[in-house]
Amino acid sequence: MKINNSLLNFVNGMLVTLPSSKTLTLSWNFGSMLGMVLVFQIVTGTFLAFYYTPDSLMAFSTVQYIMYEVNFGWIFRIFHFNGASLFFIFLYLHIFKGLFFMSYRLKKVWMSGLTIYLLVMMEAFMGYVLVWAQMSFWAAVVITSLLSVIPIWGPTIVTWIWSGFGVTGATLKFFFVLHFLLPWAILVIVLGHLIFLHSTGSTSSLYCHGDYDKVCFSPEYIGKDAYNIVVWLVFIVLSLIYPFNLGDAEMFIEADPMMSPVHIVPEWYFLFAYAILRAIPNKVLGVIALLMSIVTFYFFALVNNYTSCLTKLNKFLVFLFIISSVILSWLGQCMVEDPFTFLSPLFSVIYFGLAYLLLGIFMTSKLLFK
C-alpha cells in the first residue's frame, strides 16, 4: 500500500498538482510530444523486433517479409520509419525553443536534455543500419571508421564494434542488441530530465521561472497537451500517403559490400553534422568538428549570468543560427563539387561562430552591462 501511495503521489506531483507558469505557450508542447513519440517508437519497434532477423544474409529479406507477409507489418514499419523523423522534428524544435528562451540557465535540465539528444542520434543511426540496404550499410562503414581517429585505442575500438575487419553480420547483431536496449536507458534519463525540470520549474514566455505566476498543471496544461492529437492525425495521414518520401532510393537495394553508392547521404536529421564533417579535408579535425557541433551546447550550462535587455539580441542570433543549420542540412545532401565545396566550410564557420558568439555574450554580460 505504501508503494502504491508513493507511486500515486509521484504521478500526482508530475501531472496534476505540479506548479506551472500560466504563461506557457504551445511551444512548450514540444516536450510532451517528444515523450509521446518516444513511447510510440518503443511500441512499434518492439513489434518489428518480433519478426526481424539480425543476420547479414536475412536482414534485408526479413524487412521485406514484415512489409508483405506479416499482418499489419507494413503499417508498423511505416510508422516506425516516419516516427524517427517526427521525433527529430520535435527534438530540434524543442532545442531551438530552449535557445530562444535561454533554458540553459536550468543546468541539470539542459545537460540531461543534450545527453538524450546524443543517445537518440546513436539510436537512430543503429536503427538505420538494421535495414541492411546499400545506403545504410555504407553509412555504417563510414561512421564507424571515424572512431579510428581516437588516439591509441581507435583502431581497436573499430575492430571491436565490427567484430572483425569489416562491417559484417556480427556488426549487425551488435547494433540490433544496442538498438533494442538503448531506448530503455533513454527512458530513464528522460525521467531524470523531468525530475530536474520539476524541481527547478520551467522557463516561460516571460523568460522567468519564479513562483509568482504558478497554476496547477492539470487541467489547463493537460488540455493544452491534447492539441498534440492534431499532430498525430497529420502524421498518420502523411505517413500513409507518402510513406518513404523522407528515405533514399538506395534504401530499397540490398547491401553490397563490393560496390558503394555513388553519393552517400545520411538521413535528413544528420545532414548538418555530415556537412560539417565533409567541409574539413583532415579526418581528425573533421571528426572533432562533428563532435563539437553538438558538444558545444554543453558549454551553455556554464552561463551564470542573465541580462533581460539581451533577449532581443539572443532571439536574433538564435534565428541566424537556425538559418545556418538549415543551409548546412541542405549542403549535406549536395554533391562534392563547386560551389558546395566552398559553401560547406563557410557555413560551418558561421554555425560555430554564431554558437560561440551567443555563448560569449552571455558569459560576459555582467561585464558588458555593469
Residue 80 annotated as catalytic? no
User: Choosing from 107, 173, 224, 254, which is the catalytic residue?
Assistant: 224
Known active-site residue 267: yes
350 CB-contact burial (10 Å; exposed 0-12 / middle 13-18 / buried 19+)? middle
Query: What letter would DSSP give residue 211?
Result: S
Active site residue 225: yes
Which residue in 225, 248, 293, 325 is the catalytic one? 225
Type of residue numbered 311 = T
Beta carbons of 190 and 14 less than 8 angstroms apart: no
Rounded CA-CA distance 234/140 in Å is 32
**Which among 267, 324, 325, 348 is annotated as catalytic?**
267
Closest CA to 45 of 13, 18, 83, 87: 83
Instruction: Please say if 179 is a catalytic residue.
Output: no
Q: Which grid coordinates belong to 210? A: 519564479
Are 17 and 216 in contact, with CB atoms under 8 Å apart?
yes
List % helix, strand, coil for the chain (3-state, nearest 5). Answer: 75, 0, 25
DSSP for residue 300 = G
Answer yes or no: are the C-beta atoms of 123 and 179 closer than 8 Å. Answer: yes
State the Cα–Cα distance between residues 212 and 194, nearest whole angstrom.
21
**Cell numbers linked to 123:** 539510436
In sequence order, the 6+-apart residues with CB closer than 8 A to the CB of 44 are: 76, 79, 80, 83
Whether residue 362 contacts residue 305, with contact meaning beta carbons closer than 8 Å, is answered with: yes
Non-local (6+) Cβ contacts of 191 within 8 A are none
Query: Quick one: cell of 120?
Result: 537518440
C-alpha cell of 103?
533554458
Which of 20, 85, 103, 202 is the catalytic position? 202
Is 123 among the catalytic positions?
no
Catalytic residue among 32, 198, 218, 260: 198
Say how many residues make up the chain: 370
The catalytic residues are: 198, 202, 224-225, 267
